[in-house]
Structure 1
Amino acid sequence: MFNSFSTVWNFLNYWYFRYLMVTELYMVEKWERAICNTVIVIILCMLTYLNCTVLYYTSKFWNITFGNYSEIESPI
């Protein structure tokens, strides 16, 4: 069990390290990193909200306007 926990921990550390390298947050201080991470989390939450609400109604609108083509059987 400890080996699997260690493997998961190493995996998460690796991806956190990559995140810091790609976003170049390894160069800033901890408080600046916290602000940047907070902004990124807020943006991701807003995008999730957009996908769950606005795009749901948009897909319903297009389905009503142009019909549901998923019910049409393919000739193959």
Structure 2
Amino acid sequence: MIKSLLNAVLKFINYWIYRYLLVTELYMTEPWERVTIHVFLFLIFLVQFAFNYSVLLPFTARLFNFQIVT
């Protein structure tokens, strides 16, 4: 029961990873290139999150007179 459920979940995840690789055309790259691209994208999202949290959130809170709960 649990093994079949786990296999179904893994099959679902593998399907969506495969679709992601096809859509982004990363299936054509070498494994080290794929890792480099993923690390680069992760760093971009991390910097974007830090900017949003440290700059945009306080700015919009002051703009709309909200108090940020920390």
- Percent identical pairs in the alignment equals 34
Paired positions, count: 65
1:19-44 alpha-carbon deviations (Å, 9 max, x no partner): 11111111011111111111111112
Whole-Å separation in 2 of the counterparts to 1:16 and 1:50: 28
Letter in 2 for 1:58: F
Q: What secondary structure is seen at the aligned counterpart in 2 of 1:53?
A: helix
Query: TM-score normalized by structure 2?
Result: 0.77
State the partner residue of 1:16: 17
Which structure has more RCO (C-alpha within 8 Å, separation ≥ 6)?
A: 2
The aligned residue for residue 6 of structure 1 is 7
TM-score scaled by structure 1? 0.72
Distance 1:43 1:53 in 2: 15
Instruction: Compare CA radii of gyration and give the structure with the larger one.
Output: 1
Unmatched 5+ stretches in structure 2: none
Partner of 2:40: 39
Counterpart CA distance in 2 for 1:18 and 1:51 is 29
